[in-house]
């Protein structure tokens, strides 16, 4: 008789624990998806900002110096014609 009561209790307890674990798993999964969507939106916003920014002056100078170097003069003219 006592064994049946103990088994019923254990079965009820494990069933309740299984339900609790499944609920926590659904909550965590939902939270992770929400965070992933927020991260993707933030990345898109940062990419937009990155597209709008001016390159640092040192980069502009380096590119200008590279394009005007005698070795790259022909390439510089070609690039300028493409940009027109």
pLDDT in tens, 32-70: 999 999 998 998 888 888 778 776 666 666 666 666 666
Sequence length of the chain is 84
pLDDT value, residue 76 = 60
pLDDT value, residue 11 = 81
pLDDT value, residue 31 = 92
pLDDT value, residue 23 = 93
pTM over 0.85: no
List the Cα angle 68/73/74 in 5-degree steps.
150
């Amino acid at each position: 008789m006592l064994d049946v009561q103990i088994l019923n209790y254990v079965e009820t307890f494990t069933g309740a624990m299984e339900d609790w674990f499944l609920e926590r798993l659904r909550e965590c999964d939902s939270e992770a998806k929400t965070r992933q969507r927020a991260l993707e939106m933030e990345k898109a916003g940062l990419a937009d900002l990155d597209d709008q920014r001016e390159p640092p002056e040192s980069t502009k100078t380096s590119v200008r110096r590279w394009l005007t170097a005698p070795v790259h003069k022909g390439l510089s003219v070609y690039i300028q014609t493409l940009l027109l």
